[in-house]
Amino acid sequence: MKLAEALYERANLQRYLAVLADRLEDLAQVQEGDTPPEDPAQIIQEYSATNKRLEQLVARINHVNATTLFDESRTLTQALALRERLKREFDMYNRVAQRASKNQVRWTRSEIKLVSTVNVADLRAHANQVAQQIRDVDMKIQELNWSIEL
């Protein structure tokens, strides 16, 4: 199994666990005298088995990420951390630029005028540079995901 396939399976298992948890929550109570449409004990058993399968898969994925080289100086785990840092940085630049470029509606001259404390164009340029870095890192990660055996 390729790493990319394992990541896809991990996402499916996580979604399925959420569905099972919702079903269990719905089965937690019924009107007195009624029987639940499904056996909660069976759903709990299925949840537990699926959760164990997810645990094993995540451990295998983490092991591969920690031992696979992304480039000459970083592991795949370090590249994933880099991508997350870049995403946070990109979001920060965008949020600050968006806030600084908001138009203010003033009805009278006596209302307080807000002025930008940052250069919006520079922030957007930095955001674009970071976005390119994210794309570059992500492309290499995806390439590795489809070439590495789990």
115 and 142 inside one domain: yes
130 and 58 inside one domain: no
Read off the pLDDT of residues 72-112 as tens digits, 9 standing for 90 and up: 999 999 999 999 999 999 999 999 999 998 877 777 777 88
Q: End-to-end CA distance of the chain, in Å?
A: 6
76 and 57 inside one domain: no
Give the mean model confidence (pLDDT) for residues 109-133.
Answer: 91
Cβ neighbours around 87 below 10 Å, total: 15
Is the CA virtual torsion 55, 50, 68, 140 positive or negative? negative
32 and 90 inside one domain: no
82 and 55 inside one domain: no
pTM (two decimals): 0.82
Read off the pLDDT of residues 34-65 as tens digits, 9 standing for 90 and up: 999 999 999 999 999 999 999 999 999 999 99
75 and 118 inside one domain: yes
Range of the domain at 112: 70-150
Residue with tokens 């003033």: 106
51 and 84 inside one domain: no
C-alpha to C-alpha distance for 107 and 55, rounded to whole angstroms: 59
